[in-house]
């Protein structure tokens, strides 16, 4: 077993959408920067970023009902929806910059226009959806959204869902033609192909086993080369841990105080995939429903048209599962190994508080295929069991931490950056909206970790992202310009994208 030492400027751990985005941003800002990427698997985008392991929704809060909560007074809080929509606009601008500058090509291979719809059943839910629609449609970010509770209009919008449906329950939907389907696996691979041309050293089949601070303030990584079996020492002044579920273990090994009192809870997912092309052809939208009472936010059911390998497919889910692994390719001991003296009380508190989640997961794991089909039939009344297969989606690790609002051991459902006080190391934890907000989140990493260079870099950032530092909601003219330019660059339908503006 041999050992060798190398030094570079930046090390990115994990070849997913986050590392791909951060590497691309840094190379645009500092072309001469030296970057090395370490990925445990044989290729890029194989875990959370893979097209089969995420929803493929360009999360812009157009259809996801869990981003708009009903307040005790009956009004609808749209603040989270605004935030997520603005974050997705940042991603769209950056992708457009890359296409316009020939840094990536053929955007149709990773993004396409696809209506985003919310659909609910029952009088109370229809009332909620109508209020949500009124609240959102007043905002420039959501102009062009339509609402209907007319069965004939809904049959036009949702033929597969409305066929053979009994009329005993009120039903309503909203429709936003500005939605997108995004193949984040394809985009991740495109970005890493681009980074190779910029002399970024990408090491597949290399796992980072340990991270330690050196006396000069740099970070020393112990890296195992799975092909040769050798253990290598590599160091850098800045390290980004973008290893999906594997990030928590590495953050803990770094020893930074910001990484203490944080735990992780793994949740796996399953989707039903339609194998009948005639059924697939009858649906053309991403349709999100409402989570059942007591179910966690990640359980929101949706019937999604997806484009994978440029082929139209139809998926329904997610159904939750449980595995102690933090990655699909991880170890059965991942959860156990993440429990440390500094987070054990946080984890125990979460266990006591989240009994309903535990019960929900047990119920989900025990579902038979026919029981899953019954849930699908709430969307497609005449769905035939033989037309659908079950596939395993990705692992997600929900962050558990102590918060002021939730107290000790609070389960978080978002995407979270944890960084050292001096900005020399940062890790990404959590799940949705994840990949859709990758550009916004990586700009947050840059802001936190490179504050001294920010003033110098700002003109270039604004060239890549014209709305940088600006609220699009408060600047409708800029919003319309950005909708027009991103639609043109990414090959999206202008009429659909800016409908109503």
- The DSSP code sequence of 97-136 is HHHHTTSS--GGGTEEE--EEEEEESHHHHHHHHHHHHHH
Q: What is the pLDDT of residue 432?
A: 65
63 neighbors 288 (Cβ within 8 angstroms): yes
The list of the chain residues with pLDDT below 50 reads 1-2, 494-501
Question: Given this model, what pLDDT does residue 4 score?
Answer: 54
Distance, first Cα to last Cα, the chain: 63
Average per-residue pLDDT for the chain: 90
Question: What does the pLDDT read at residue 498?
Answer: 39
Number of independent structural domains in the chain: 1
Q: Give the pLDDT of residue 496.
A: 40
C-alpha distances out from residue 155 to 118, 148, 295, 363, Å: 14, 11, 29, 33
- How much is the pLDDT for 298? 63
Gap between the Cα atoms of 166 and 171, Å rounded: 10
Is residue 39 within 8 Å of residue 206, measured between CB atoms? yes
Is 319 a member of any domain? yes
The pLDDT, as a whole number, for residue 296 is 63
Contacts of 32 (CB under 8 A, 6+ apart): none
> Which structural domain, as residue segments, surrounds residue 339?
5-67+74-489
In a domain, 498, yes or no: no
Per-residue HEC secondary structure of 223-267 comes to EEECCCCCEEEEEEEEEEECCHHHHHHHHHHHCCHHHCCEEEEEE
Tell me the pTM: 0.92
Residue 190 lies in a domain: yes
Q: Is there a domain that residue 332 lies in? A: yes
pLDDT for 497 = 40
Contact 255, 85 (CB under 8 A): no
Q: What's the CA gap between 260 and 157, in Å, rounded? A: 49
pLDDT at 351: 75
Using DSSP, state whether 159 is helix, strand or coil.
helix
Q: What is the pLDDT of residue 83?
A: 95
Q: Tell me if 9 sits within 8 A of 37, measured CB to CB.
A: no
CB 264 within 8 Å of CB 247:
no
Residue 178 falls inside a structural domain: yes
Residue 242: inside a domain, yes or no?
yes
Q: Would you state the pLDDT for residue 223?
A: 95
Query: Does residue 366 sit within a domain?
Result: yes
For residue 180, the surrounding DSSP H or E stretch is strand 180-182
- Three-class DSSP category at 295: coil
SS3 at position 368: coil
Residue 297: per-residue pLDDT: 60
Q: Model confidence over 160-191: pLDDT tens digits?
A: 999 988 878 899 999 999 999 999 999 999 99
Query: Using one digit for the tens of pLDDT, what is the confidence trace for 239-260?
Result: 999 988 888 899 999 999 998 9
Instruction: Please tell me the predicted confidence (pLDDT) of residue 382.
Output: 94
- Amino acid 304: pLDDT: 95
Give the per-residue pLDDT at 211: 96
* CATH number of 466's domain: 3.50.50.60
499: in domain: no
């Amino acid at each position: 077993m041999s050992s060798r030492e190398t030094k570079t400027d930046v090390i990115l751990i994990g070849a997913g959408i986050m590392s791909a985005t951060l590497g691309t941003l840094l190379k645009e800002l500092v072309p001469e920067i030296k970057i090395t990427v370490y990925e445990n698997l044989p290729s890029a985008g194989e875990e959370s970023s893979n097209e089969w392991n995420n929803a493929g929704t360009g999360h812009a809060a157009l259809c996801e009902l869990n981003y708009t909560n009903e307040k005790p007074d009956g009004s609808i809080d749209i603040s989270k929806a605004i935030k997520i929509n603005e974050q997705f606009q940042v991603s769209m601008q950056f992708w457009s910059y890359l296409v316009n500058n020939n840094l990536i090509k053929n955007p149709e291979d990773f993004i396409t226009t696809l209506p985003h719809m919310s659909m609910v059943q029952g009088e109370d839910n229809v009332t909620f959806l109508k209020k949500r629609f009124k609240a959102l449609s007043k905002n420039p970010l959501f102009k062009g959204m339509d609402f209907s509770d007319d069965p004939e209009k809904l049959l036009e919008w949702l033929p597969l869902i409305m066929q053979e449906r009994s009329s005993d329950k009120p039903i309503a939907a909203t429709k936003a033609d500005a939605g997108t389907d995004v193949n984040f696996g394809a985009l991740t691979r495109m970005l890493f192909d681009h980074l190779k041309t910029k002399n970024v050293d990408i090491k597949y089949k290399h796992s980072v086993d340990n991270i330690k601070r050196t006396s000069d303030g740099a970070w020393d990584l112990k890296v195992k080369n799975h092909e040769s079996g050798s253990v290598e020492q590599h160091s850098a002044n800045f390290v980004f841990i973008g290893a999906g579920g594997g990030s928590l273990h590495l953050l803990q090994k770094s020893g930074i105080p910001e990484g203490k009192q944080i735990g992780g809870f793994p949740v796996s997912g399953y989707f039903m995939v339609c194998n009948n092309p005639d059924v697939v052809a009858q649906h053309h939208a991403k349709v999100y429903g409402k989570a059942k009472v007591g179910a966690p936010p990640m359980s929101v059911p949706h019937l999604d048209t997806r484009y994978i390998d440029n082929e139209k497919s139809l998926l329904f889910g997610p159904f939750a599962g449980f595995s102690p692994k933090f990655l699909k390719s991880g170890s059965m001991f991942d959860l156990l190994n993440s429990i440390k003296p500094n987070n054990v009380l946080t984890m125990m508190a979460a266990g006591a508080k989240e009994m309903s989640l535990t019960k929900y997961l047990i119920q989900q794991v025990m579902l038979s295929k026919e029981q899953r089909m019954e849930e699908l039939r709430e969307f497609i009344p005449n769905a035939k069991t033989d037309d659908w297969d079950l596939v395993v989606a990705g692992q997600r690790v929900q962050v558990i931490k102590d918060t002021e609002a939730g107290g000790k051991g609070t389960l978080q459902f978002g995407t979270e950056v944890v960084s050292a006080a001096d900005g020399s190391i940062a890790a990404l934890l959590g799940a949705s909206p994840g990949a859709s907000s990758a550009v916004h989140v990586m700009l947050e990493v840059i802001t936190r970790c490179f504050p001294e260079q920010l003033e110098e870099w700002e003109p270039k950032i604004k060239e890549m992202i014209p709305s940088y530092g600006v609220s699009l909601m408060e600047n409708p003219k800029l919003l319309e310009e950005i909708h027009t330019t991103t639609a043109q660059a990414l090959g999206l339908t202008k009429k659909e994208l800016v409908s109503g503006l």
